[in-house]
Structure 1
Amino acid sequence: MSEHIIEFQNVTKKYPGQIALRDVSFTLPRHKIIGLVGPNGSGKSTLLKLTAGLLHPSNGMVKVNGRKVNRRIAAEVAYLSELDVLYPFYTVEETINFYAGMFADFDEPKAREMLSFMQLDPHKKVKELSKGNRGRLKIILVLARRVPLILMDEPLAGLDPLVRDSIIQSLISYLDLSEQTVIITTHEVSEMEPILDMVVAVQNGRIQGMAEVDEIRSKYGKSLVEWMKETLVS
């Protein structure tokens, strides 16, 4: 088993008229909650999609678990999109059943336990759920998968503080960091700081800094937000 769960080797990603990532090389360790931070358009979501096999690099190579990423990586990676990808005509219960049928690693008892924890009505249709409850359901669908790598793109975006708090609590309660690694892009840095082990700062398609969150506090005597302000060039 590779020492690192994620490895980028000289990765560039170009879109028409735009370079999203510029010759990026880095590795990320296993069994941690890692935050990807940076301004909009910095390349964070592109990094996640390349790791999930949803995009291909224009140059370079991405590896997960020591193997080059391709479409089949979905068996080892659970990806939470910032977009709303749920079927509106399904009930919550039917959505759980659909995912259980789609992924052999889906832990149905764990999903139902989280439904209770998140106080979601299994008989309610997805289209009847508030934005906050759809956010909760998306989290359940990702955390119920027994995979080594979980990728979450802005899981707290647009949600009110109470919902954000319940989602952060579920991350703490339902992750198995002895088996799993979690990469989260987020703008809610101060709220996420207590659960992050490590942070990667991205800007203009480049990695501007990487650090252990405990080290930022103990060695530099800074909060994560203060470290970001110094690390991300203006």
Structure 2
Amino acid sequence: MTIRFHEVTKRYGKEEALDHINLELQPGKIYGLLGPNGSGKSTTLKLITGLVYPNQGNITVLGEEVTRKTCKQVAYLTELDMFYEAFTVEKILSFYASQFPDFDIGKAKLLIQELKLEPQKKVRRLSKGNRGRLKLVLTLARNTPVILLDEPFSGLDAMVRESMVTSLLRYIDFSKQTVIIATHEINEVESLLDEVLAIYNGHIVGHEHVETLREEYGLSVLDWFKMKMEEKGV
């Protein structure tokens, strides 16, 4: 397995973000992590990267307990936008290539073309949609076993979201990579997902194969998620 959570609890002060989570994620799959704001989605991703550590339990990535060393196995698209504003798109690619040995500059340039980004344009002149595209390029161009996408479509218009979904399908190596997409934009990601997890109030309240939902229960991912939230009184 690629990622394993065993009895993981994470607190921020007195607030419990995750409560005794158990989870096993396999290679070669795209997982949707769905939940309302404050449910624990971002905390789950940060724990996998080693940006924060659990108060109880343990997390392994590729069989190793999460440390700053294992974070090299993870490409993480965060909601935050942390670019050097004076850099051009092309210079951002070169900078990432200098920082990450696994960064595939050839793949990045193909993605830049596909997502219609101008290499010589400075970051400060990019629209919000194009900044979102650039973040996706920088994440997908890393050849890591784990890819984490935290709200990759937040605030983007439908055309931008559609182009990003197309790129996700084309540039992920399904034989090697495990992808987790944390989002509340459920309709956009449904076509991508192999399995879906519902998280609420720090607990995993559902975990299903998307194919099973469709073929055995006749449910879309959105219908299933709404059902899980209704069970919790949301």
What interval of TM-score do these two structures reach, taking the shorter chain for normalisation? Answer: over 0.9
* Paired positions, count: 231
Report the Cα distance in structure 2 between the residues aligned to 1:191 and 1:107, rounded to whole angstroms: 26
Match of 2:139 in 1: 142
Q: 2:170 aligns to what SS in structure 1? A: helix
1:17 to partner: Cα distance: 3.0
Aligned-CA RMSD value:
0.7
Report Cα offsets for 1:89-120 as digits up to 9, x if no partner: 11100100000000001000110011111111
Report Cα offsets for 1:39-64 as digits up to 9, x if no partner: 11000100000001111001110111
TM-score normalized with structure 2 length: 0.97
Report the Cα distance in structure 2 between the residues aligned to 1:75 and 1:17, rounded to whole angstroms: 31
Report Cα offsets for 1:107-157 as digits up to 9, x if no partner: 001100111111111101101000000000000000000110000100000
Q: 2:148 aligns to what SS in structure 1? A: strand
User: Is the 2:115–2:133 contact (alpha carbons within 8 Å) kept by the matching residues of 1?
Assistant: yes
Matches within 5 A, 1:76-91: 76-91=73-88
Q: Give the residue type in structure 1 aligned to 2:222.
A: V
Match of 2:107 in 1: 110
Matches within 5 A, 1:190-229: 190-229=187-226
User: Is the 2:108–2:138 contact (alpha carbons within 8 Å) kept by the matching residues of 1?
Assistant: yes
1:194 to partner: Cα distance: 0.8
Report the Cα distance in structure 1 between the residues aligned to 2:172 and 2:26, rounded to whole angstroms: 16
Matches within 5 A, 1:1-234: 4-232=1-229, 233-234=232-233
User: Is the 2:64–2:70 contact (alpha carbons within 8 Å) kept by the matching residues of 1?
Assistant: no
Unaligned regions of 5+ residues in structure 2, if any?
A: none
1:191 to partner: Cα distance: 1.5
TM-score normalized with structure 1 length: 0.97
Unaligned regions of 5+ residues in structure 1, if any?
A: none
Report the Cα distance in structure 2 between the residues aligned to 1:170 and 1:78, rounded to whole angstroms: 16
Divergent runs of 4+, >6 A: none
